[in-house]
Structure 1
Amino acid sequence: MVTAQLDVVVPQELCLRENLSVWASDAQCRLVVSQPTLDPKLWNEYLDGAFRTYSKYGVECTLDPSAGDDTRLFFSAVNMQGKVVGGMRVIGPLGSAEDSHAVVEWEGNPGLTAVRKMINDRVPFGVVEVKTAWADSDSYQSGLIAKALARPAFTVMSLLGVQFIMATAAAHVLDRWRSSGGVVAAKIPVAAYPDERYRTKMIWWDRRVLANHAEPQQLSRMLAETRELLRDPNAWSGSCAATAGAGL
């Protein structure tokens, strides 16, 4: 079994001292890791892009207007012109299934009990959830940007000290998530969310076996990018107490 893990242990009450970034050469963009209070301008640019993208498909109703309250980290893809062309945010670690948006998505759909159990069974080992992922569909690099945004699993797990990452996504985007080691929860029935046009599924990344499921090229990029992002412990070893009052 392949065990390509990075032995970084970080307190869960993490507050970054500065943005972390790495150049994603395949997508021709810079992946920037930040927090809403650390870089409010970048956070708002990410949110604006998410609203524009979700509005194109009529699903902007799924966006959370109070997203900054529970966002522990967010990732922005910034192109060579300095424009945010994609991103995602991370919430958690979850205290229970009720902290996850998945219970909202499966409400009224088959499988809600199984969704709750699957999350609660993993909570003791550390679970975070990826939300509000998007890539600018007007960019000719859209597919590669989305693939780059699928790669930060090791970074998230290392910074937040968790074993599991969970996300929900429409079936047509799951291949990009799978490329970085995500495994679809096959026993969970699809949910018609946010409406009947979509078939939403649940996908998990498990730090112990992630490398066994990732595409080799994606895994190589994931490891290289994580090492670059975490190269300076002084940038991410600060506690929330030490940086209280920063930003907003």
Structure 2
Amino acid sequence: MLSLSLVNPHLEPSVVDEFSQAQRACYEEFSAEAAVSEVAQEDLLSGRVVYFVARDETGAMVGGLRLHLSFPGTKLPVEHTLSQLSQLARLLESRRQHGVAEVCGLWAYSRYRGTKLSNALVRTAVAAAPLCETNLLIALSHHYVVNHWAPIGFTAEPRLGVHSYPDARYFSKVILLDPVRLATAEPEHKWRILGLRQALRMHCPIFWSPETEEHVPVQPSEHVPVSSSSANEHLGGVQAEHPA
């Protein structure tokens, strides 16, 4: 059984190096370490980055991703990567005042590949997004995984083209999702995401089983209170969603 948790690096700074080293090791297996980017200290201190990590029974980190929050006056990693793409800049500027976030840095150790752990991490990030005052999620995803994200609700924006990122072996697209309405998510994934969102609101721990490839629900009365790991603290106390 794996535990999935949100980590605010301002509260738990050790997660930054732990995540970065593990992510780099995973990407090096595919000679794709060019896609590993360091998170700016300014973003870490300002609370604009939230980490989602999976840990096994020993507490070892076995997978994760980052959620970068963007508000007026800030830019996301995808904007730096595709800095010459004027259509992207216009799209994000028109939506930034309502809260935009980027899902990036996804990785999982090889022994969990094929177990849908990556999808479980992405669903958890989607569930948390509105609690971070975000109503648009964006990602730059290559052709090997775009189809895996589609049932969760991510759709490619054709006007933003296809990009050789992180190198010429990959064909990456900008994909988008409204995490509040979830109108493009398949019903099964939508209800899973809404269940996870409720669990995050109630500060319930989230578990995921590699054997069944399913989230394991924990009732509020069953969970052990978690102090510094509570969703409220890790999301900076933000609990209000944008109106639909």
The TM-score bracket by the shorter chain reads: 0.7 to 0.9
Unaligned runs of 5+ in 2: 205-226, 238-244
TM-score (norm 2): 0.75
Deviation of 1:117 after TM superposition, in Å, equals 1.6
The residue type paired with residue 191 of structure 2 is: S
Match of 1:134, SS state, is strand
Corresponding residue pairs, total: 208
For residues 227-246 of structure 1, what are the structure 2 equivalents within 5 Å? 227-232=198-203, 235-237=230-232
In 2, the alpha carbon distance for the partners of 1:229 and 1:240 equals 10
In 2, the alpha carbon distance for the partners of 1:191 and 1:104 equals 14
Q: Percent identity?
A: 23
For residues 65-144 of structure 1, what are the structure 2 equivalents within 5 Å? 65-67=38-40, 69-71=42-44, 72-95=49-72, 99-107=75-83, 112-136=85-109, 138-144=110-116
Contact 1:78 1:85 in 2 (8 A): yes
The residue type paired with residue 185 of structure 1 is: E
1:40 is aligned to 13
CA gap of 1:81–1:61, structure 2 versus 1, over 3 A, is same
CA gap of 1:150–1:48, structure 2 versus 1, over 3 A, is same
Contact 2:51 2:64 in 1 (8 A): yes
Match of 2:160, SS state, is coil
Larger RCO, structures 1/2 (Cα 8 Å, 6+ apart):
1
1:214 is aligned to 185
Match of 2:70, SS state, is coil
Contact 1:36 1:68 in 2 (8 A): no
Compute the RMSD of aligned alpha carbons. 2.7
TM-score (norm 1): 0.74
Match of 1:119, SS state, is helix
In 1, the alpha carbon distance for the partners of 2:79 and 2:203 equals 37
Are residues 1:196 and 2:172 paired? no
Q: Moved runs in structure 1, 4+ residues, more than 3 A?
A: 66-69, 140-143, 232-242
